[in-house]
Structure 1
Amino acid sequence: MQIDPLEAWERLRSSRASRPGRASGGARAKTYSTALEQAQQMLRAAEAVGPQTRPLLVFYGLSQAGRAIAAAAVGLRGEDWNLLAHGIHVTGYHKDFADIEIRTDPAGSSGSFVRLSELLESPVWGGTPAVRLEDVWDALPVNLQYPLSTRDRLTPLYAASEIGSEDHPLLTVEIGDIPDHVVDAGTRQALDGYLAAYPGTAGRDSFVFRTAAGEEVPRYERHLPNAGWLSVHWEMPAESRSAQDRLERLRAMTRGYAGHRYFFPAPAGLSRELHSLMAWWVLLYALSMLARYQPAQWANHINVDSSRHAVPIEKVLEQAMHHLPTLIADTIEEVATWP
């Protein structure tokens, strides 16, 4: 994954002279420019500190960028763009790091997380059930190599497709990063059970298979030692088989992340997957609340001499500073150009 945060900041700074979407004038324009400047300064400041305080600066940098996103969004009218409060809550600090619990305010409320989630067609879940920190951690591509526990994981599945230019009755997608326990099982049942957690894969018609003991089973390939791949097919309607139709189908089934497409898992209890920016929001909010309100526990979690989570936490905070500028810029373009 090639990500250039400097190029992303250039895009964001350039947008302030010709503000996108509904941020073209008035209070929304001032909020857009000021919030982006604050976001950039906070994320730059985060580079100069260690993990003791870094999550505070990174989260509030993202939070201010969220205000710029809302200011530009054509889907937010009236005063709906003016974000108030957080709209998200963390409990269960006494539990294992992976089991910390996150809840949101109800749908339709004015908290930043709820308002932006609804704008981006990302779920909110009110008071219950809680979403576990590990489920959100695993939903980010940057954490693929950094598990928090030994549980079977639901991680993003890379979606690669050569659409071509000709009409075709099938949309074929090469799905990557299928975990070892699914590949090793080698059965249709194991595959179907695993993909049930990925809403975007619904409606698939077939896959490339081999015959084993008279049964058609998935024909996986390994491009990397721990990454199984499988070609999966979706049948297109007779009237919608052009390259553009198939590209739109792929985009509808997947979500983008820094120029790539992924099938993302839905955290347990939710009907659909989180938008990647909102997954980062959940994770960074939880880490910032730990650092701010539970400093002793936070110190234990980031102690490299005693905590198995210390290095993964360091890595995810480093990646946040690297990835967020691109995700913010992409999200602004997304919400500012919707009809």
Structure 2
Amino acid sequence: MTSLTPAQAYRLDIRKTRAVKPGRAGEDPERGVLYSAALRQFEDLLTSSEAAGHAGRPVPLFYALSQAGRALVAAFGDTPIVNGHGLGEHRSGDATVGLLDRRIRRVATKHGDDAFGAVAAALGSPAFTGSASLGSIWTSTPGASDLLDHDLDSSWCPPLLACLGVHDKRVGMSLYSTARRPRRSVDPKEISGSRYPRVPDAASIDDSWGFGHFENVKHVATASWDPAGNQVEDELRGRLSRTRGDLYDDALLLSSVNEDSDAMHPLMSWWALLFALSIFARYHPTLWVSSLDPDRSRLAVPIQALLDVAPDAVAALVWEAVFPEKPKSLPILTSYWSRLSAEELAEFDRVRSKRGDDFCALRTT
């Protein structure tokens, strides 16, 4: 029996929609023709990207996603046609600026029909404003941020694993690092609405207690707030991002790429990331190729790993966009744990040493 990988299954499911088209592409023949043509190019370009070496891979990768975006706009957009990328390089004129500090800017068209803006609108996602560095975009992208083991700038904020909860008339979320080997600790003071826009400005941030528990990850903080009379599920809905694919399994609190923008849909984060890589590969080949040399560049292995996982990540995100899921009930925990005081920890250690076994130093109520 032939066994398909998840990525292969996603691609086959997407290809099937060329015969039974979703949304407006199934109702309007002109949109339907555009949808099928763009998806055919998406698949060909994605396959081409896998055959390319790392030096050239960002270009077909980005254009594969770009053509998938045109298909999504044909199916779910207000108008089926897009004009221009909607993104560009923010050139400083300083050739010494490192790759992660180079910037991409938003170049929205007057009518919002640029590709980036039109796809974001079709997905119901914000589109970032101003400009953002490659490092910030990369760090904020789900499924990619953990690959960046460079020294992280404190202004680059990663997505955080999250558990929703309610306790003592307050609602909130406990937040954990997604990285198996965190490059830096996320300070609880960084959990604010400016970089994590789904956290209310009125939330209290505490690092000593939380809802739920994730194994083998670092608890960062818990944000909690008064729901002000709103139903618990209504107050918490829409604050986290989930995926049905293999890109990430748990709910995430997404970060923004700069302080003036909202957090984007994961597909839009990958779009901005792959656009940036394709720009630097095309227009700064010396910088790009030198960054791929593992004998000289600390970025080489993270970039190569990113480009290796990107085709499957793109396929998963396009699949989720083509087959949108209806809202479900949220998993909301009603218990909480608190860290023990120094005196309590000392007593636990004393009892444990006498018993000779191990148990969790968490209190659940």
Instruction: Give the TM-score normalised by structure 1.
Output: 0.79
Q: Which residue of 1 aligns with 2:330?
A: none
User: Match of 1:135, as an amino acid?
Assistant: S
User: Match of 2:239, as an amino acid?
Assistant: M
Q: Which residue of 2 aligns with 1:98?
A: 100
- Separation in 2, partners of 1:230, 1:268: 21
| 1:287, distance to aligned residue in structure 2 (A) | 1.1
Q: Give yes or no for contact 2:292–2:303 (8 Å, CA) kept in 1.
A: yes
Worse-superposed segment, 11-20 or 253-262: 253-262
User: Secondary structure in 1 aligned to 2:323?
Assistant: helix
| 1:117, distance to aligned residue in structure 2 (A) | 2.6
| 1:289, distance to aligned residue in structure 2 (A) | 1.6
Q: Which residue of 1 aligns with 2:362?
A: none
Q: Which residue of 2 aligns with 1:58?
A: 61
Pick the aligned partner of 1:286 from 276, 284, 294: 276
Q: Which residue of 2 aligns with 1:116?
A: 119
Q: 1:336 to 1:91 in 2, by over 3 A?
A: farther
Q: 1:54 to 1:180 in 2, by over 3 A?
A: closer
- Is 1:195 the counterpart of 2:181? The answer is no
Cα deviations across residues 195-229 of structure 1 (Å, max 9, x unaligned)? 3420111156556x6xxxxxxx623788436x225
| 1:32, distance to aligned residue in structure 2 (A) | 1.1
Q: Give yes or no for contact 1:104–1:114 (8 Å, CA) kept in 2.
A: no
Q: Which residue of 1 aligns with 2:360?
A: none
User: Match of 1:266, as an amino acid?
Assistant: S
Q: 1:55 to 1:199 in 2, by over 3 A?
A: same
- Separation in 1, partners of 2:168, 2:10: 36
Cα deviations across residues 112-167 of structure 1 (Å, max 9, x unaligned)? 11222344332242xxx42111110001132224234342341001123479xxx9
- Separation in 2, partners of 1:249, 1:234: 10
User: Secondary structure in 1 aligned to 2:177?
Assistant: strand
User: Match of 1:123, as an amino acid?
Assistant: A
- Separation in 2, partners of 1:180, 1:143: 11
Structure with higher helix content = 1
User: Secondary structure in 2 aligned to 1:200?
Assistant: coil
What is the Cα-based RMSD across aligned positions, in Å? 3.1
Q: Which residue of 2 aligns with 1:177?
A: 177
Q: Which residue of 2 aligns with 1:158?
A: 161
- Separation in 2, partners of 1:150, 1:329: 31
| 1:298, distance to aligned residue in structure 2 (A) | 1.6
| 1:230, distance to aligned residue in structure 2 (A) | 4.4
User: Secondary structure in 1 aligned to 2:84?
Assistant: coil
Cα deviations across residues 252-301 of structure 1 (Å, max 9, x unaligned)? 11233446421111222423112211111111111112222222222111
Correspondences of 1:44-55 after superposition (within 5 Å): 44-55=47-58
Correspondences of 1:63-82 after superposition (within 5 Å): 63-73=66-76, 76-77=77-78, 80-82=79-81
Q: Which residue of 1 aligns with 2:23?
A: 21
Pick the aligned partner of 1:254 from 240, 253, 267: 240
Q: Which residue of 2 aligns with 1:88?
A: 87
Q: 1:114 to 1:201 in 2, by over 3 A?
A: same
User: Match of 2:82, as an amino acid?
Assistant: L
- Separation in 2, partners of 1:123, 1:87: 10
- Is 1:310 the counterpart of 2:313? The answer is no
| 1:170, distance to aligned residue in structure 2 (A) | 4.9
Cα deviations across residues 171-204 of structure 1 (Å, max 9, x unaligned)? 4533211868657xxxxxx524433420111156
| 1:48, distance to aligned residue in structure 2 (A) | 1.4
Instruction: Give the TM-score normalised by structure 2.
Output: 0.74
Q: 1:219 to 1:239 in 2, by over 3 A?
A: closer
Q: Which residue of 1 aligns with 2:134?
A: 133
User: Secondary structure in 1 aligned to 2:251?
Assistant: strand
Cα deviations across residues 240-262 of structure 1 (Å, max 9, x unaligned)? 24xxxx1x544411233446421
Q: 1:174 to 1:298 in 2, by over 3 A?
A: same
User: Secondary structure in 2 aligned to 1:61?
Assistant: helix
Cα deviations across residues 88-122 of structure 1 (Å, max 9, x unaligned)? 10134831011111112136342211222344332
Q: 1:138 to 1:150 in 2, by over 3 A?
A: closer
Worse-superposed segment, 116-125 or 51-60: 116-125
Q: Which residue of 2 aligns with 1:187?
A: none
